[in-house]
A and B are shown apart, each in its own frame.
Chain A
Amino acid sequence: SQQGEEDPQALSIQEGENATMNCSYKTSINNLQWYRQNSGRGLVHLILIRSNEREKHSGRLRVTLDTSKKSSSLLITASRAADTASYFCATDAKSGGSQGNLIFGKGTKLSVKP
């Protein structure tokens, strides 16, 4: 069953602006991960945040996790045209039938215009 839901489904911004994508999930997790997929390519891991962490940074990326609300956000600061891609959150469920695998949301399609 689907675990993560990204919001918005699509986002269009100008170069230099910040982009924020949100992810909500349903069950307790070990960790939550964000991936990027360029058109016609495989997914690339961006960042992993554990259930006991609240915020994590990697370059222009900032991820927050709120386990009480079962939600996460990905912020890309000072966006570039090269950031144009689909972004997926994926959750590693702590229990239940989904253990041992990552369940992906439907993704947010980000378009950064030069």
Chain B
Amino acid sequence: DTAVSQTPKYLVTQMGNDKSIKCEQNLGHDTMYWYKQDSKKFLKIMFSYNNKELIINETVPNRFSPKSPDKAHLNLHINSLELGDSAVYFCASSTLGTGVGKLFFGSGTQLSVL
């Protein structure tokens, strides 16, 4: 069974559209994340939820809205897509104890905005 699964793997869409990426983890972790990896492979945190509560909200346009219906799911909805949103988006999960534990990553969603 895949530990962290995100769908879809590829997403090609037109500018201005609204799209969602789903993420689920079956590891029993209490914390989930969304990271964005740009074309230069730089990985940047976007959001983090701990027990369904938003704990990290980096400087991200408010067109991006995360939603965590339960501890095992963290979805990402993006409104009015722009060309600059093209990137690979990774979901991850971990436990929070004394510091951040190791992250388990999904396989990524490659978003292409045309």
Contact = CB atoms under 8 A, between A and B. Distances in A.
Interface of A: 29-31, 33, 35, 37, 40-45, 48, 50, 86, 88, 90, 92, 94, 100-104, 106-107, 109
B48 to A, nearest CB: 5
B103 A45 contact: yes
Contacts of A37: 41
B98 interface: yes
Given A31-B99, A42-B108, A107 B55 contact: no
Given A100-B50, A101-B56, A102-B45, A42 B102 contact: no
A33 B48 CA distance: 18
Given A42-B105, A42-B106, A42-B107, A101 B100 contact: yes
B108 A41 contact: yes
Interface of B is mostly: strand
A84 B42 CA distance: 18
Interface residues of B, number: 28
Nearest to B46: A101
B100 A31 contact: yes
A101 B42 contact: no
Contact of A100 (B35, B40, B92, B96): B96
